[in-house]
Amino acid sequence: MLAQLSAGADRAVQQGHPLRAVYLVGGTPTALATRDLVRLIEGLRRHLPLAPDCEITLEGRIVSFGLEKARAKFDAHPGAALEDVASRGAGSVAHVLACLPEGEAVCVPGTAFEAVMAEIARWGEITLAPEVLA
């Protein structure tokens, strides 16, 4: 696939408008070794005009996802909400949290819920997806 992308780098389709989504399906891409999955994502970035917020979706089976593959999935969607990364096949939210760099996430007991919500309220206006408000 990378060879085909490289060979077609001069084609108009690979030079056109930025792509907002790339779907890797068939043959279960998550069965690839982690290093090959990372190479594939890097190749997509190198050879295709991806929009800054481009979604890269991988077809896979949950048994194919280990911690390293979840990290690769998270790296492919750096600005995504943790729940979104998890729902894209990277496992549970806890699994995605384990992929974050040291110090990027803090787990607190449920008894701290009110204090955490009060702190978030002090941040000012936040944006929520419409379905959250329904």
In a domain, residue 111? The reply is no
70 domain residue, yes or no: yes
56 in any annotated domain: yes
pLDDT at 134 over 60: no
pTM for the structure as a whole: 0.47
Is 128 a member of any domain? no
The answer to whether position 6 is within a domain reads: yes
Residue 97 lies in a domain: yes
Q: How many domains does the chain have?
A: 1
The closest alpha carbon to 127, from 78, 77, 81, 63, belongs to 81
Return the half-sphere exposure (C-beta side, CA atoms, 13 A cut-off) of residue 24. 21
Sole residue written with tokens 């069965």: 31
Domain that includes residue 92, residue range: 2-104
Determine, yes or no, domain membership for 76: yes
Q: What is the pLDDT of residues 7-44, one digit of tens each?
A: 877 777 677 788 888 888 766 666 777 778 888 888 88
Residue 132 lies in a domain: no
String of DSSP letters for 56-111? EEE---GGG--HHHHHHHHHHSTTS-HHHHIIIII--HHHHHTTSPTTS-----GG
